[in-house]
Amino acid sequence: MPKITKTVHIIRKAILLSVLAASVYVYFHPDTVFVPVAASQRKKLDGLFLHHLTTKYFVFHSNIPREKLDDFGRTSDLFIDLFNRDFFRIDYKFPLHAYILPDVPELKKFMQEKMGVQTFPEIFAGAYHALYRAFFTHRNAGWGTFTHEILHPLVDSSLPAVPSWAVEGIPAFAERFYGYEKDGELRVQWGYPSPWRIQELEGRLARLNLEEILSGSGSVSEASLVCIFIYKQGKWKSFLDLVQKNEKNGYPTFLEAALGMTLGEVEPRWREFLNDLERKKSDLYRLPTTKIFPTEEEYNEFMTYVNGIFR
């Protein structure tokens, strides 16, 4: 297949998957004191799967082909290294357990019969369960599901001072990205909104109140946009560093501390950001799904298309 034809094919396929993979993630976190499940309970759960893989950071359990599980495990470890490099210093007692089911029906069945979960969002792709220190997903969920779910325990353990809006905002920020692997590392471009989250804010996108979101009264989709806004201001790492150190430098919020501005001073930039999203809304719906490319060349060709939609 000619290279340009192959690239167009990949783009078209990614756009289709973007619609199919729009997912809602569930985070099961106990309101009571954290008490891990007993080893016997874990062993019973693990015994339901044929394949088990221990990596640097994870223990995977699945019935998918072993070679697919090996590939998933290797890339998953690279994501933890990436978060440690690009987000915050990870302070977590690994390993994390991961249960990968074949598809959505099997995932729902497993969560109902084995985990006691009886209700699900309309679109369901995965869940993190704090008592089991594990996330549950299916093989076709995509890396956006993985990054969202895996960031929940990492944020909980590494950022004890995280503001309430960012508990979900940070994982949601990491749902949509594009990258490639080089020299044993993932190189990733962040800062893209999930199209289905933009659609969720239809009719009120340009009017979102930053102060209300920071107070914790906003939705997950709103919080994810605040994170993208911080990233677009070039202050993402500074913001996370301040949260990890619990330092606000005399400001009421971590956002103000990261930007070195009061909310009143930030407001014009926030409005400009939202207005730009509103203008590009129809284009944002065409953003391809999260993707990791095997080569830098394919990534660069693909990003020419993506950057034509959203910068």
Domain ranges of the chain: 22-158, 163-306
pLDDT digits (tens, 9 = 90+) for 21-41: 333 444 444 333 344 566 788
pLDDT attached to residue 36: 55
Give pTM, 2 decimals: 0.84
Residue 11's pLDDT band, with cuts at 50, 70 and 90, is very low
22-158: what fold?
Glutaredoxin (3.40.30)
Query: Which residues lie closer than 8 Å to 180 by C-beta, 6 or more apart?
Result: 186, 187, 292, 293, 294, 295, 296, 298, 299
pLDDT digits (tens, 9 = 90+) for 189-205: 999 998 889 999 999 99
Q: Is the pLDDT of residue 274 over 50?
A: yes
pLDDT digits (tens, 9 = 90+) for 216-235: 888 999 999 999 999 999 99
Residue 123's pLDDT band, with cuts at 50, 70 and 90, is confident
Instruction: Please spell the DSSP secondary structure of 261-310, one letter per residue.
Output: S-HHHHHHHHHHHHHHHHHTHHHHTTPPPPEEESSHHHHHHHHHHHHHH-
Of all residues in the chain, the percent with pLDDT exceeding 70 is 87
